[in-house]
Amino acid sequence: MKAPATGQAAPPRDTPLRPEREDVRVAALAALAVALHVLEAALPSPVPGMKPGLANVVTLLVLVRFGWRPAAWVTALRVLVSGLVLGTFLSPTFLLSAGGAAAALAALALAARCPGRGFSPLGLGLVAAMAHMGGQLLVAWALFVPHPAVALLAAPLMTAAAAFGTLSGIIAWRILAQEEATEQA
């Protein structure tokens, strides 16, 4: 934008759609989450539905640093764009992904309101991962396979979710600790 010729700032004739700082931040973090999501989709998985969910680390980081709203934006964008990139948009895979993400965000919204010292990244990671898997299983049961066997699948999948959720929490905590150290230096 050119500086106005006169000393006084002229009022803008139109209001161009300019991204604010937070928009740029959300976009950058969402891009990072999409990269992790797509990278992970390339990894082979021993059991369908079992994956590390490293993209959720980004959600955790944004939640702790910037709050729930940006975290929800980053997650929604991640699910949408990853669906488009992987070609699963509006397919069952996408619906499972979206259902899981919505459940995880709902759980994180509750967890973020926890009184007292609240949750550390560790607890947030666990809660988000369990809610994510729970939401996915519910979507799978409600939309695709209304069979009691889904409950049997829940045991190994929820166990994996607990393990990977804790791992995500540890990764998020280490990144936050490093950022803090860098900021203090």
Rounded least distance, CB 166 to another protein, Å: 8
Residue 76 or 112: the one with the smaller Cβ distance to another protein is 112
Smallest distance from another protein to CB 129, Å = 9
Residue numbers of the site for another protein (CB under 8 A)?
111, 114, 116-120, 122-123, 126-127, 130, 148-149, 151-152, 154-156, 158-159, 162, 170, 173, 176-177, 180
Exposure b/e, 160-176, CB count within 10 A at least 16 = b:
bbeebbebbbebbbebb
CB of 48 to another protein, least distance (A): 17
Q: Please tell me the distance from the alpha carbon of residue 76 to that of residue 101, in angstroms, as a whole number.
A: 8
**64/74 with CB nearer another protein:** 64
- Residue 72, C-beta contacts closer than 8 angstroms, at least 6 positions apart: 105
Helix H or strand E segment including 37? helix 21-41
Question: Closer to another protein at the Cβ: 82 or 136?
Answer: 136
What distance separates the 2 farthest-apart alpha carbons in the chain?
Answer: 74
Closest distance to another protein from the beta carbon of 150 (Å):
11
